[in-house]
Amino acid sequence: MIAELEALAGFRADVREWCREHVPADWVARMTGASVDESLEFQRVWLAELREGGLAAPHWSSEWTGRDYSFEEEIVIAEEMARARAPRLDTFFVSLYHTYGLLMEAGTEAQRRRHLPAILDHGEIWCQGFSEPNAGSDLASLRTRAQRRGDVYVVNGQKVWSTYAMHARFCLLLARTDPAARKNRGISYFLLDMRTPGVEVRPIVDLGRRQEFCELFLVDVEIPVENRIGEENEGWRIANSTLSTERSTLLLMPAEQLRVAYWMLVDLARTTPGSGGRPAIEDVGVRRDLAGFHAEIANLRLLINRMLTQMIRAGGAGPESSIIKLYYSELLQRFTCYAAQLGGMKTQELAPLLGAAPYVSGVWEFDFLNSYTWTISAGTNEIQRNIISERVLGMPREPK
């Protein structure tokens, strides 16, 4: 579809071949209902496998990976991974995307050398310490304090929604260094060693009874000054500029997975009796709904293609990625809810869950519940709508 990718047929064939050889055929069965330790181990093995194939971090520069992929090749890799239903590297998500983006943009050479190889070669896990209990969508109102005392900052406060923090070796931390400054002016950015005394991690049990998110309690935690990123009180600007990088191809994989998931829904419709007892796929109403999802899933991919094409040609993503995230997350939620409802009592049956699953695993009720991670986290969809209405549609802010 994207004209620029047509020339990459050979490269695509190689990636496809690699996936055919390396994506473990039985991983879904093996990992369904796996323990936390088993999942973690599997993620490490899969990271190593990808690294050997040169596919663990296609967006990283060749200095760290030895491979230099064009943006077009990155797109092809993401497409093929989705097509092969490869496991997501979700345990290393912050490490591979946020930490990399941050260090390349605002880190020192020493920080890069210390951390980037450790991520890629040893699977060092990072977490994020951004959200706080009383600063959900209103991130800039965070209260965690970092006070300079000589060569260290002493940090006190509480963080929440820190994914995989119980496994993490380091944390990307935002804390307030100037309480007198306006909300987003007095914040600094730190790398926190999770083994520092005073760091306590408590997992949060989520609605699927999994433990992926954590709370962090920070009591007199000392962070050496050299682990501050950028200047003091510049944390908000740094976080904002690095948050938006590398987002563009991240939606490709879930979007491709949704295309695969469409056929899972069709299968469900074939095997579920419809209202009159005949297979649901023969029900005119169900068929129309399936036609609607077919169109909407196609549109999602087309929207992403349009964004990627623009990035290939002009560079830099605009607000399109917010729009696509909104479109994707709501489509995913409607789609999975529809499936959960279509399957009747059968889909009400409790089923063991799958770690690192595609966002549609086929355990439909779980997939639906899980879709709220997309509509709530990283800025709720309500916040996204505010932002889009103001930045894209140019509508005025609300009076305070």
Partner 1 sequence: MIHRTRTVDMDSEELRAAIRDVLDREATSERIRVVMDESKGHDAKLYALMAELGWTGLAIPEQYGGSGATLIELGVVLQELGRSLVSSSFEASVVLFGGALLLAGREDQRASFLPRIANGDLLASAALGGASGRCEVGSLALTVEPRGASLSLSGKLEYVPSADLSELVLVAARGPQGDTALVLVDPRHEAIEISPQPVFDPTRRFSRLVMHDHVVPRESMLGDFSNGEALRERLIELGAIALASDSMGGAGKVLESTIAFMKGREQFGRSIASFQALKHRCVDMMMRAEASAVSVEMALEAFSREAEEAPVAASEAKFYSCDSYVHVAKEGLQMHGGVGFTWEYDCHLYLKRALLNQALLGDSRWHRDRVADLVLGPATAL
Q: Which residues are catalytic?
A: 246
- Does residue 204 interact with partner 1 by CB under 8 A? yes
Stretch 55-114 residues interacting with a copy of itself (CB under 8 A): none
Contact of 34 with 355, CB cutoff 8 Å: yes
Question: Kind and range of the H or E element at 288?
Answer: helix 284-314
Can you tell me which of 117, 198, 224, 292 binds partner 1, judged by CB under 8 A?
292
Asked if residues 174 and 187 have their Cβ atoms less than 8 Å apart, the reply is yes
Name residue 349's amino acid.
Answer: E
Binding partner of 396, given a copy of itself, partner 1, none, CB within 5-8 angstroms per partner class: partner 1
Show the tokens assigned to 216.
């962090």
- Cα 157 to Cα 27, 176, 197, 332, 367: the distances in Å are 40, 10, 14, 35, 33
Taking the complex as a whole, how short is the minimal distance between the CB of residue 284 and a copy of itself, in angstroms?
5
How far apart are CB 78 and partner 1 at their closest, in Å?
Answer: 19
**Which window, 31-39, 44-52, 82-90, 200-208, contacts partner 1 (CB under 8 A)?**
200-208
Kindly report the backbone phi and psi dihedral angles of residue 131, in degrees, each rounded to the nearest multiple of 5, phi listed first. -65, 150
Write out the binding residues for a copy of itself, residues 261-320 only, by CB under 8 A.
275, 283-285, 288
CA–CA dist 177, 228 (Å, integer): 11
| Whether 127 contacts 162, CB under 8 Å | yes
| Vertex 52 angle, CA 65 and 102, to 5° | 35
- Give least dist CB 35 to partner 1, A: 18
Please report, as a single letter, which amino acid is at residue 73: E
Closer by beta carbon to a copy of itself, 72 or else 296: 296
Residue 262 C-alpha from the chain's centroid: 21
Nearest alpha carbon to residue 132 among 212, 236, 215, 241:
215
**Quick check: 182 binds partner 1 (CB under 8 A)?**
no
The Cα 139–Cα 153 span in angstroms is 21
Binding mask 223-262 for a copy of itself (x = CB under 8 A): ----------------------------------------
The encoded tokens of residue 60 equal 């990283």
Q: Which of 234, 294, 310, 312 binds partner 1 (CB under 8 A)?
A: 294
Looking at 9-17, 87-95, 249-257, 376-384, which segment touches partner 1 (CB under 8 A)? 376-384
Q: Rule CB under 8 A: choose which of 149, 209, 397, 400 binds a copy of itself.
A: 400
Identify residue 13 by its one-letter amino acid code. A
For partner 1, the binding residues in 149-178 under the rule CB under 8 A are: 160-161
57 interface partner picked from partner 1, a copy of itself, none, CB below 5 to 8 A per type: none
Q: How many residues bind partner 1 (CB under 8 A)?
A: 82
C-beta of residue 197 within 8 angstroms of C-beta of residue 208: no
Contact between 340 and partner 1 per CB under 8 A? yes
Q: Could you say which residues in the range 310-349 bind a copy of itself, by CB under 8 A?
A: none
Among a copy of itself, partner 1, none, residue 147 binds (CB under 5-8 Å by kind): none
Q: How far apart are CA 50 and CA 145, in angstroms?
A: 39
For the beta carbon of residue 316, count every other beta carbon within 10 angstroms. 9
The option from a copy of itself, partner 1, none interacting with 298 (CB < 5 to 8 A, set by class) reads partner 1
Applying CB under 8 A, which of residues 206, 222, 232, 234 lies at the interface with partner 1? 206
Q: Which of 39, 43, 144, 373 binds partner 1 (CB under 8 A)?
A: 373
Nearer to a copy of itself, 26 or 398 (CB): 398
Q: Which of 207, 228, 332, 360 forms a contact with partner 1 (CB under 8 A)?
A: 207
- Interhelix angle for 284-314 vs 320-342, to 10°? 160
How many residues touch a copy of itself under the rule CB under 8 A: the total is: 8
Work out how close the CB of 336 gets to a copy of itself at its nearest, in angstroms, rounded to a whole number. 22
- Contact (CB, 8 A) for 122 and 96: no
Q: Name the amino acid, one letter, at 219.
A: V
Residues that bind a copy of itself (CB under 8 A): 275, 283-285, 288, 398-400
